[in-house]
Amino acid sequence: MSSSGGVGHESDETTSYVLQPPRPAPSEPGVGRLIAGRYRLLAKLGHGGMGTVWRAQDETVDREVAVKEPRVPDHLPEREQGNAFERMRREARAAARLDHPSVVNVHDVAVVDGRPWIVMELVRGRSLGDVLQEGTLGAREAARIGLEVLGALEAAHAAGVLHRDVKPDNVLLGRHDRVVLTDFGIAQIEGETSLTDTGGFVGSPEFIAPERVLGQRPGPASDLWSLGVVLYAATEGVSPFRRSNTPATLQSVLNAVPAPPAAAPGPLAEAINGLLQKDPARRPTAAQVRALLEATANPPAPEPEPIVRTVEAPAGGGIRLGRRTLFGLGAAVLAAAAVACLVIADPFAGPLPDGWTKKHTKDVAATLAVPAGYRPTTPDRKTDKDHWIRYADESGAIWIGLRLDRKAEDTAHDIAGSAAAEMYDDDSRFKESGDYELSMSKTSRTRPEDRTYQGAKAAGNTVRYDTTDSQNPRPREVQIFYYRTTAGDMYKLTVGYPGRGDFTARGREVARTAIANLSVDRP
């Protein structure tokens, strides 16, 4: 189980058996072993806390399959080992009950030395979790995948099976646009006793429904909640409940209200918002979700453009226009020219107030507007490799800071998939723990909003807070502007100033002007 519930693909419960690119000559132990006199192990595909998945050759019918080898530590008590083996048998039974193209097919369970080896179809492709490491999905593609997963869940629920671990790593994207829901390893089958260890639960924290966290009896609505989290992560680039550790993640599942999805339009946003209702009774039914996803995946065709026909003027005289008509046309031409100018020009740009100047900084690949006399601070390259610059007035009470996080350097995949997702991720952190660099207490008040930059989506947030100085806490206010470039780089322009007093109005004026005149080299 992932400690942080991230969108990544390191769960120790994985049964991913997606075919990977060919590797050099195998050296791992077990390659070439014949299981149950039939399945020849060819290469290891992946492993987790409960099993290792192999690509194997079924020598009886001459086809490649995926074989899941049980992997249970020898030091576990006999009872827990027995539970683990029974869980694998249930995984096979749960999947074998279902006849749906989006559920992985189970061919056989081979018992070797009392341990069950599950033999399944080999899905050639990648997991959704792997795909999301490279970027977000468009709304239509997310809805298409969501429809297939929903179909698999409907089939499971009709057969009395709850999946209980719907997440991107358990959704495989195969050839010919096939979508397959896998890993029924912790599924609950109606009428069978629970195998969950005493005092705990199984599943991936950020995808677990609130009622499961509270220990209540789950139902089909619990799986639908998890589908909602998957759709949110697929379109926004970040899970709405992911936090730095498991307890914080579970607390956010119970208490945090996710920001409305910014990259999911209309029906898809309605589906996601409905699925993430804390009360399972208020979540939409599978049929209602299907209708919303279908409306997103297959939107109505646009209305045809009207056909404009031209009529030739009578020969010899043309068309005579009166003075009023000419005046009207002249006004229309001027209005059209003005509109064209507004559309083409930078919608943020405006004349700089007196005493302001523009400063270009190569390290952040942008030009900032700052008041005269503001002094710059830049990173010490001996200790700080980040890209930022900060300007402050003589008193230090008002400052302007610009930070650039480059996609090419984001090895930890910290940059969210959209400006709004980045903003809401910061917003949740401000409310839950504050911010060390801003000396912000966790009692901050925020005002998120949608913004635009040169016609593209951006985001903004105004945060009011008291500093963490226990002896003399001071009110502060910051305005933060977020913009994600087409190349995936993330800009954050932050303006900070006193939250009360004579400097507040001036600080807000500085924020408005600096944000309006930000110029990114490569938007």
101-111, pLDDT tens digit by residue?
898 888 888 88
Q: Strands of 39-47's sheet, edge to edge?
A: 34-35, 39-47, 51-58, 63-70, 115-121, 106-112
Q: What is the pLDDT of residue 5?
A: 39
The residue-averaged pLDDT of 15-36 equals 62
What stretch of H or E contains 463? strand 456-466
The residue-averaged pLDDT of 204-231 equals 93
Going from N- to C-terminal start, the domains of the chain cover 33-121, 125-187+204-297, 356-520
The residue-averaged pLDDT of 184-213 equals 63
What stretch of H or E contains 419? helix 419-433
What stretch of H or E contains 499? none
User: What's at 152, amino acid-wise?
Assistant: A
Whether 221 contacts 280, CB under 8 Å: yes
pLDDT higher for 99 or 23? 99
Q: What is the pLDDT of residue 481?
A: 96
The residue-averaged pLDDT of 176-184 equals 87
**Separation between Cα atoms, residue 350 and residue 392, nearest integer Å:** 22
The residue-averaged pLDDT of 312-339 equals 44
**Separation between Cα atoms, residue 347 and residue 516, nearest integer Å:** 8
Local confidence band at 65 (pLDDT 50, 70, 90 cut-offs): very high
CATH topology of domain 33-121: Phosphorylase Kinase; domain 1 (3.30.200)
DSSP-assigned states of every residue in 431-459: HHH-BTTTTB-S--EEEEEEEEETTEEEE
What stretch of H or E contains 30? none
Active site residue 165: yes
Count of C-beta atoms within a 10 Å radius of residue 397: 17
Whether 256 contacts 241, CB under 8 Å: yes
- Residue 14 pLDDT exceeds 50: no
**Separation between Cα atoms, residue 429 and residue 446, nearest integer Å:** 11
Count of C-beta atoms within a 10 Å radius of residue 30: 13
Q: What is the pLDDT of residue 25?
A: 45
% of the chain at pLDDT higher than 70: 78
The angle formed by the CA atoms of residues 209, 210 and 216, to the nearest 5 degrees, is 100
**Separation between Cα atoms, residue 105 and residue 231, nearest integer Å:** 24
**Separation between Cα atoms, residue 430 and residue 425, nearest integer Å:** 9
- Residue 50 pLDDT exceeds 70: no
Look up the CATH number of domain 125-187+204-297: 1.10.510.10
- CA 324 from centroid of its chain's CA atoms: 57
Tokens coding 221: 């609505």
- Residue 192 pLDDT exceeds 80: no
Torsion of CA 100, 104, 107, 109, to 10 degrees: -120
Which residue has tokens 């984001």?
A: 410
pLDDT higher for 8 or 293? 293
> Which residues contact residue 373 at a Cβ distance below 8 angstroms, ignoring those fewer than 6 apart?
393, 394
Q: What is the pLDDT of residue 146?
A: 97
- Residue 26 pLDDT exceeds 90: no
pLDDT higher for 359 or 197? 359
Local confidence band at 18 (pLDDT 50, 70, 90 cut-offs): very low
User: What's at 225, amino acid-wise?
Assistant: W
Q: Is it true that domain 356-520 has CATH number 3.40.50.300? A: no
Q: What is the pLDDT of residue 351?
A: 65
Q: What is the pLDDT of residue 8?
A: 41
Candidates 140, 3, 100, 119; CA nearest to 51 is 119
Q: pLDDT by residue (tens digit) across 489-508?
A: 999 999 999 988 878 889 99
pLDDT higher for 45 or 86? 45
Q: pLDDT by residue (tens digit) across 345-398?
A: 344 445 678 889 999 999 999 999 999 889 999 888 778 889 999 999 888 889
Torsion of CA 434, 440, 445, 450, to 10 degrees: -80
Letter string b/e over residues 427-463, b meaning 16 or more CB atoms within 10 A of that residue's CB: bbbbbbebbeebbbbeebebebeebebeeebbbbbbb
Candidates 226, 201, 234; CA nearest to 276 is 226
Q: pLDDT by residue (tens digit) across 287-296?
A: 999 999 999 9
User: What's at 288, amino acid-wise?
Assistant: Q
- Residue 73 pLDDT exceeds 70: no
- Is 431 annotated among the ligand-binding residues? no
Q: What is the pLDDT of residue 316?
A: 44
Encode 298-310 in three state secondary structure: CCCCCCCCCCCCC
In the three-class reduction of DSSP (H, G, I as helix; E, B as strand; rest coil), residue 144 is classed as helix
Catalytic residue among 12, 99, 108, 165: 165
Q: What is the pLDDT of residue 182?
A: 85
The residue-averaged pLDDT of 153-177 equals 89
**Separation between Cα atoms, residue 450 and residue 173, nearest integer Å:** 33
Give strand pairing partners of 274: none
Count of C-beta atoms within a 10 Å radius of residue 50: 22
- Residue 436 pLDDT exceeds 50: yes
What stretch of H or E contains 473? none
> Which residues contact residue 497 at a Cβ distance below 8 angstroms, ignoring those fewer than 6 apart?
397, 398, 399, 476, 477, 478, 503, 504, 506, 507, 508, 510, 511
Which residue has tokens 């709850």?
A: 162
Candidates 207, 186, 147; CA nearest to 15 is 186
Q: What is the pLDDT of residue 262?
A: 83
- Residue 167 pLDDT exceeds 50: yes
Q: What is the pLDDT of residue 202?
A: 57
Q: How far is CA 184 from CA 14, 15, 86, 166, 194, in A?
A: 10, 9, 12, 9, 14
Q: What is the pLDDT of residue 135?
A: 86
% of the chain at pLDDT higher than 90: 41
